[in-house]
């Protein structure tokens, strides 16, 4: 089945620790995105990538880093510089028309 | 991207049509209207999109007014599984906001038995 997978479903971070969230897609999409969602709020864009080896900051990139070494993969690292990392993280991808974005199931990050 | 306004919540009886309104009075000519929904603790799901003509797919219908300042998403026979937050988004995919979707608060649709 084609789609987007995110792992893990739940992730716990200790103070001062970097953690990496995985996002993989087999839709052959060029563009991929990371969003953050806080309780009762809409989604906010963290980073996006239009093509392999290229990515751009979104609205709330501080404290996060990404890489795009392969078309299928767009991992997000939540660094220790992100002081309020507890949130629901969503990865998405879109195809040639850049119109419709398809989302993964999300990763919920909690701070211990 | 143009801003959208949606009611914070709506109720619907199971089996009846759910009509979700969206106001986008500042929409520009090359911006599409998209609808997504998000069931609790899941990723958003694409429903439908349109530019100026009405659109229908297996999930829903989208009615866009002639002046394009508002639209209505119609779920023809709502089920309990349609309970979700519905987001109306106006977006120009080929513009400078490249692929960025601006999600507002959306409408919480609750379908009752």
Tens digit of each residue's pLDDT (9 = 90 or more) over A20-47: 999 999 999 999 999 999 988 889 999 9
Compute the count of residue pairs across chains A and B with CB atoms less than 8 Å apart.
58
Measured in angstroms, the CA of A54 and the nearest CA of chain B are apart by: 13
Residue A84 has pLDDT above 70, yes or no: yes
- Reported as a pLDDT band with limits 50, 70 and 90, residue A70 is very high
SS3 string, chain A, reads CCCEEEECCEEEECCCCCEEEEEEECCCCCEEEEEEECCCCCEEEEEEEEECCEEEECCCCCCEEECCCECCECCEEECCCCCCCCEEEEEEEECCCCCCEEECCCEEEEEC
Q: Mutation test of the interface with chain B: which of A103, A104, A108, A110, choosing the one with the most B Cβ atoms within 10 A?
A: A103
Residues of A whose CB is below 8 A from B41: 88, 106, 108
Residue B94 has pLDDT above 80, yes or no: no
- Contact B43/A90, CB-based, under 8 Å? yes
d(CA A94, CA B36): 14
> CB contact, 8 Å: B43 with chain A?
yes
Measured in angstroms, the CA of A63 and the nearest CA of chain B are apart by: 20
pLDDT, position A97:
65
Average pLDDT for residues B20-33, to the nearest whole number? 92
pLDDT, position B88:
96
Candidates A48, A97, A106; nearest CB to B100:
A48
Candidates A41, A50, A88; nearest CB to B98:
A50
Residues of B whose CB is below 8 A from A44: 103
SS3 string, chain B, reads CCCCECCCEEEEECCCCEEEEEECCCCCCCCEEEEEEECCCCCCEEEEEECCCCEECCCCEEEECCCCCEEEEEECCCCHHHCEEEEEEEECCCCCCCCCCCCCCCEEEEEEC
Residue B51 has pLDDT above 60, yes or no: yes
Average pLDDT for residues B68-80, to the nearest whole number? 97
- Contact A48/B99, CB-based, under 8 Å? yes
Q: Which residue of B has its CA nearest to A32?
A: B99
- Reported as a pLDDT band with limits 50, 70 and 90, residue A98 is low
**Cβ under 8 Å to A: B residues 55-84:** none
- Contact B99/A31, CB-based, under 8 Å? yes
d(CA B69, CA A21): 39
pLDDT, position A1:
57
Beta-ladder partners of B109: B10, B84
């Amino acid at each position: 089945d084609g789609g987007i997978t995110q792992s893990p479903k739940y992730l716990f971070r200790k103070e001062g620790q970097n953690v990496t969230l995985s996002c993989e897609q087999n839709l052959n999409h060029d563009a991929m995105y990371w969003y953050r969602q806080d309780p009762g709020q809409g989604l906010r864009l963290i980073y996006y990538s239009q093509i392999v080896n290229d990515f751009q900051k979104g609205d709330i990139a501080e404290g996060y880093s990404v890489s795009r070494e392969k078309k299928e993969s767009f991992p997000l690292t939540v660094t220790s510089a992100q002081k309020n990392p507890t949130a629901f993280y969503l990865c998405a991808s879109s195809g040639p028309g850049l119109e419709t974005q398809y989302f993964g199931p999300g990763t919920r990050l909690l701070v211990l | 991207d143009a801003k959208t306004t949606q009611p914070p919540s709506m109720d619907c009886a199971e089996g009846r049509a759910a009509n979700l309104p969206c106001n986008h009075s500042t929409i520009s000519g090359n911006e599409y209207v998209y609808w997504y929904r998000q069931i609790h603790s899941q990723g958003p799901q694409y429903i439908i999109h349109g530019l100026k003509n009405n659109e229908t797919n297996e999930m829903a219908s989208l009615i866009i007014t002639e002046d394009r300042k508002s639209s209505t998403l119609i779920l023809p026979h709502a089920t309990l599984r349609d309970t979700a937050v519905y987001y109306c988004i106006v977006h120009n995919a080929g513009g400078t906001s490249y692929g960025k979707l601006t999600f507002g608060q959306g409408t919480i649709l609750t379908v009752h038995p």
